[in-house]
Amino acid sequence: MTRKDIPSRDRLIFALDVPDCDRARSLAEELGPSVTFYKIGLELMMSGGYFELLDWLLARDKQVFCDLKFFDIPATVGSAVRQLKDRGASFVTVHGNRSMMEAAAEMKGDSLKVLGVTVLTSLDRGDLDDLGFACDIEALVLSRAKQALESGCDGVISSGLEVPKLREYLDHKFKDNKLLVVSPGIRPVDNKPAGDQKRVVTVETAFQNGVDYIVVGRPIRDAASPRAVAEAMQASIAAQFAT
């Protein structure tokens, strides 16, 4: 398990994957203190009011992960990160090659952390074949994580399934153990339907495998009591880091 000095309640990131900012605010108010860290992504960006929502969350002492997966020519990626770096967000994602990640890392400033996307948790072996990747998923994750750290990124987005090998390889190679691993595709129990997520793990397995933060969306959002589910996950996380 990771032993980075991260407050237990900050390790749960809730994905505000909803159609508009009014619904996002309503859900955040319903969750109250059960969630301290929110992910806001492309759907909300395109709905309008994205930065107003970012400011609204920050004003309530929440941390914000801007999951925008920048992919463009390096100069444009760097400029986009430069525009974001002073807005108060904690994380931003880049889904590109080494030069894109280098440009993002160069412009990120002191407080914004850049996370390189390894392999989306919605992809499996067949999807990689369609995309023209001949290597297996684990090898691709390790290769992209290595590139991310060598490019100056602060961490990676990775399924919890690949994290044990990722930790074994990269924590040995990069002795300072600074790699942050953020894992989506989290489900409360093994038999929970995954929807469009194909490579999923439970909350407990994710942290046992060495994840620093988990991103959870539908299991909380679609629950009869989102706050109760979030609090149950917080209790599970706290129990794992209690010793």
Q: What is the CATH number of the domain that holds 178?
A: 3.20.20.70
CA dihedral (10, 16, 21, 27) positive or negative: negative
pLDDT recorded at residue 107: 98
pLDDT recorded at residue 133: 56
CA distance 202 to 30: 24
Q: Do the Cβ atoms of 158 and 145 come closer than 8 Å?
A: yes
Number of domains observed in the structure of the chain: 1
Q: Please indicate, yes or no, if residue 87 is contained in any of the structural domains.
A: yes
Q: Please indicate, yes or no, if residue 35 is contained in any of the structural domains.
A: yes
- Rg of the Cα atoms in the chain: 17
pTM, two decimals, is 0.88
The label of the residue with tokens 């690949």 reads 162
Range of the domain at 94: 8-240
Q: Do the Cβ atoms of 164 and 145 come closer than 8 Å?
A: no
CA distance 72 to 57: 28
Q: Please indicate, yes or no, if residue 2 is contained in any of the structural domains.
A: no
**Helix H segments across 65-202?**
74-84, 98-107, 125-131, 137-150, 163-173
The terminus-to-terminus CA distance of the chain in angstroms comes to: 11
Residues belonging to the active site: 69
138: tokens are: 């684990």
Selection from 4, 15, 9 nearest residue 235 by Cα: 9
Length of the chain: 243
Write out the chain's pLDDT in tens, 243 residues. 776 889 999 999 999 999 999 999 999 999 999 999 999 999 999 999 999 999 999 999 999 999 999 999 999 999 999 999 999 999 999 988 899 999 999 999 999 999 998 865 554 545 455 545 555 666 777 878 888 889 999 999 888 888 888 888 776 666 666 789 999 877 765 444 445 444 467 889 899 989 999 999 999 999 999 999 999 999 999 998 886
Q: Please indicate, yes or no, if residue 233 is contained in any of the structural domains.
A: yes
E-state strands within 26-143: 37-41, 63-70, 91-94, 113-117
pLDDT recorded at residue 164: 85
CB count in 10 Å sphere of residue 201 = 23
Q: Do the Cβ atoms of 156 and 148 come closer than 8 Å?
A: yes
Q: Please indicate, yes or no, if residue 192 is contained in any of the structural domains.
A: yes
